[in-house]
């Protein structure tokens, strides 16, 4: 089975083209290939396939085998993959996900996709900066098709995410578990974020998490709608804008190939 490894701001996945390959058990395959020592090494597995309602369909599986609704970084990589492999000449393209159909607008130079803007849709907001029971934290709940718990901190570099991430991911307030974002506000145009991803642990970037963090910053008065918010992640930067006219979140960032190979 042929595979391609790609990453968006360090958020790396194994991509399989199901137009050409058959994957019988994607959950088990994701666990196998994601292992950093005994597999290829990734944050999960992405299947690129046909869709009856969009140009393409994306299914994404976390490193623990659980299926996710959406991944903003992976969607940009899918756009680069299908365009540069000659599977489409359209721009923008539509992508079916478990969180609905997303529109991907590619920035193309010399036949190569340099960056992709994803229309992530409207956020769904819950509690705003409320105490999280039985913890020392206040949180803002945002869904970008998948659940996020945004926590504002004065400093995030030294946080032991491997210790504090798991109990927050599995907190009773989140019956389907949650992604957890730890955010330091730099100014009205920039924030720093680290993320503990549901089903994968700490990753270098999370596209939906960056969107959720930007939304939380706007709602809590730290940043503004209709303004670019630069999100500094461990693996790179993303630009998030809340378009108030359409009530949608626009996310722009890079996508890069890493390698190709064959799974034995």
Q: How far is CA 84 from CA 24, 58, 184, 190, 262, in A?
A: 26, 17, 36, 32, 20
Residue 206 annotated to the active site: yes
- Considering 71, 77, 149, 223, which one is annotated as catalytic? 71
Residue 211 annotated to the active site: no
Residues 6+ apart with CB under 8 A from 79: 93, 95, 104, 106, 113, 116, 255
Phi, psi of 175 (to 5 degrees): -60, -25
Residue 252's closest CA among 98, 107, 82? 107
- Considering 77, 149, 206, 217, which one is annotated as catalytic? 206
Q: How far apart are CA 16 and CA 115, in angstroms?
A: 21
State the DSSP code for 71.
-
Q: How far apart are CA 226 and CA 229, in angstroms?
A: 9
Give start and end residues of each alpha helix (H) in 35-170.
72-84, 161-169
Q: Are 69 and 63 in contact (CB under 8 A)?
A: no
Q: How far is CA 168 from CA 162, 220, 243, in A?
A: 11, 21, 30
Residue 41's closest CA among 230, 222, 156, 204? 204
Q: How far apart are CA 121 and CA 74, in angstroms?
A: 16
Active-site residues, by number, are 71, 206
């Amino acid at each position: 089975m042929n595979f391609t490894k790609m990453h968006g701001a360090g958020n790396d996945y194994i991509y399989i083209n199901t137009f050409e390959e058959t994957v019988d058990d994607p959950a088990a395959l994701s666990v196998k290939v994601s292992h950093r020592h005994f597999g290829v090494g990734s944050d999960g597995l992405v299947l690129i396939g046909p869709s009856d309602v969009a140009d393409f369909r994306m299914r994404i599986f976390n490193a623990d085998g659980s299926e996710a609704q959406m991944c903003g970084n992976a969607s940009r990589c899918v756009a680069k993959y299908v365009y540069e492999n000659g599977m489409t000449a359209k721009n923008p393209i539509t992508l079916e996900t478990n969180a609905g159909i997303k529109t991907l607008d590619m920035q193309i130079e010399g036949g190569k996709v340099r960056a992709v803007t994803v229309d992530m849709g409207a956020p769904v907001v819950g509690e705003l900066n409320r105490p999280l029971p039985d913890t020392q934290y206040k949180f803002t709940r945002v869904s970008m098709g998948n659940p996020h718990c945004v926590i504002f901190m004065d400093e995030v570099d030294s946080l032991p995410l491997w210790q504090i991430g798991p109990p927050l991911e599995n907190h009773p307030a989140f019956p389907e578990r949650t992604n957890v974002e730890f955010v330091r506000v730099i100014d009205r145009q920039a924030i720093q974020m680290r993320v503990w991803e549901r089903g994968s642990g700490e990753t270098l970037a999370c596209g939906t998490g960056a969107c959720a963090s930007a939304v939380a910053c706007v709602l809590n008065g730290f940043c503004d709608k209709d303004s670019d918010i630069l999100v500094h992640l461990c693996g790179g930067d993303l630009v998030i804008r809340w378009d108030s006219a359409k009530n949608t979140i626009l996310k722009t960032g890079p996508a890069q190939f890493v390698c190709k190979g064959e799974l034995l």
